Amino acid sequence: MTDQRVAIVTGASRGIGRAIATRLASDGRHVVCVARSQAPLDELVAEIQASGGAATAKPCDLSDFDATAKMIESVHEELGRLDILVNNAGITRDNLILRMTDEEWDGVIDTNLKSVFVACRAAARPMMRGKFGRIVNIASTSGLVGNSGQANYAAAKSGLTGFTKTIARELGGKGITANTVAPGFIQTDMTKDLPQPVIDGVKSMMAVRNLGTPEDIAACVAYATSDEAGFLTGQTIAVDGGMTMC
């Protein structure tokens, strides 16, 4: 059994997930990096190890619920413990509601919401046995205020909020906390090609008048998953530069 806290981070191969995995590793966690593709995970693990951290790659398609549960179980079996679960993986299938297909709805709900339920259910037992757990589910400000063209995405992310509050109540007496972090407009591959007028419009809605970075989200997750955050649970933390103020 490793003497380090073990953290699973899904969607770890790029963007926010990559920043979270890197930060948790720098804070001394053994980070299990999860995404669909092996190659970018291997690259991330190599970077973490080169910086003196501990990491493992676990490719997994989170829309395959059996595979997701088995992946969680395998981490506990191989490393002897599971302390932290960060559910970051997600997809978008944007469309206006009158044009949105059942497949676009189901795909986003399954990957962004049901897979989180499956992962948390699988992780809860080893965390209970260890009498310690930190669960952070990455939501979005779209789930707080809605966003045109994202009925599926907003519904999934809003669902994470209610789900996380519920498991916080169920698991709190077992030493397990559960919180939601809701990023606002973050500089990632998904946003870098947006026209400048769109970027300027978004900045005008923020109190800080600037876009966030993946590292801003990682810093919040680092605290919420720390040993010191035992009194923080059932909360939705909007890291959005003051855009929603809620």
Q: How far is CA 106 from CA 66, 91, 115, 203, in A?
A: 17, 11, 12, 32
Token duo for residue 239: 């890291």
At residue 9, φ and ψ (nearest 5 deg) are -125, 115
Question: How big is the chain, counted in residues?
Answer: 246
Which residues make Cβ contacts (< 8 Å) with residue 245, sequence separation at least 6? 207
pLDDT confidence of residue 190: 65
Q: How confident is the model at residue 99 (pLDDT cuts 50, 70, 90)?
A: very high
The pLDDT value given to residue 196:
82
Indicate if the pLDDT at residue 2 is higher than 80: no
Closest CA to 217 of 61, 32, 12: 12
For residues 176-187, average pLDDT: 93
Distances (CA, A) of 121 to 42, 66, 184: 27, 12, 27
Tokens linked to 37: 């593709």
Q: pLDDT value at position 84?
A: 98
Parallel, antiparallel or unpaired: strands 54-59 and 84-87:
unpaired
Q: Take residue 211 and report the two structure tokens written for it.
A: 């876009």
pLDDT at 45: 98
| pLDDT value for 182 | 95
- Give the residue, 243 or 158, on which the prediction is more confident: 158
So what's the pLDDT on residue 106? Answer: 96
Select from 245, 233, 20, 6 the least CA-distant residue to 138. 20
CATH hierarchy code of domain 6-236: 3.40.50.720
Least Cα distance to 140 among 62, 88, 205 occurs for 88
pLDDT digits (tens, 9 = 90+) for 58-83: 999 999 999 999 999 999 999 999 99
Catalytic residue among 105, 153, 163, 185: 153
Per-residue confidence (pLDDT) for residue 12, from 0 to 100: 97
> Which residues are within 8 A (CB) of 132 and not within 5 positions of it... i.e. 6 or more apart?
83, 175, 176
Q: Which pLDDT tens digit goes with each residue over 8-48?
A: 999 999 999 999 999 999 999 999 999 999 999 999 999 99
Question: What pLDDT sits at residue 188?
Answer: 80
Q: At residue 96, does pLDDT exceed 90?
A: yes
At how many degrees (to 10) do helices 151-171 and 102-109 cross? Answer: 30
Look at residue 246 in the predicted model and tell me its pLDDT.
55
Give the per-residue pLDDT at 73.
97
**Rg of the chain taking only CA atoms, in angstroms:** 17
Instruction: Convert the pLDDT of each residue in 182-226 to its tens digit.
Output: 999 888 876 776 778 878 787 888 888 888 899 999 999 999 999
Sequence spans of domains, the chain: 6-236
* pTM strictly above 0.85: yes
Catalytic residue check, 153: yes
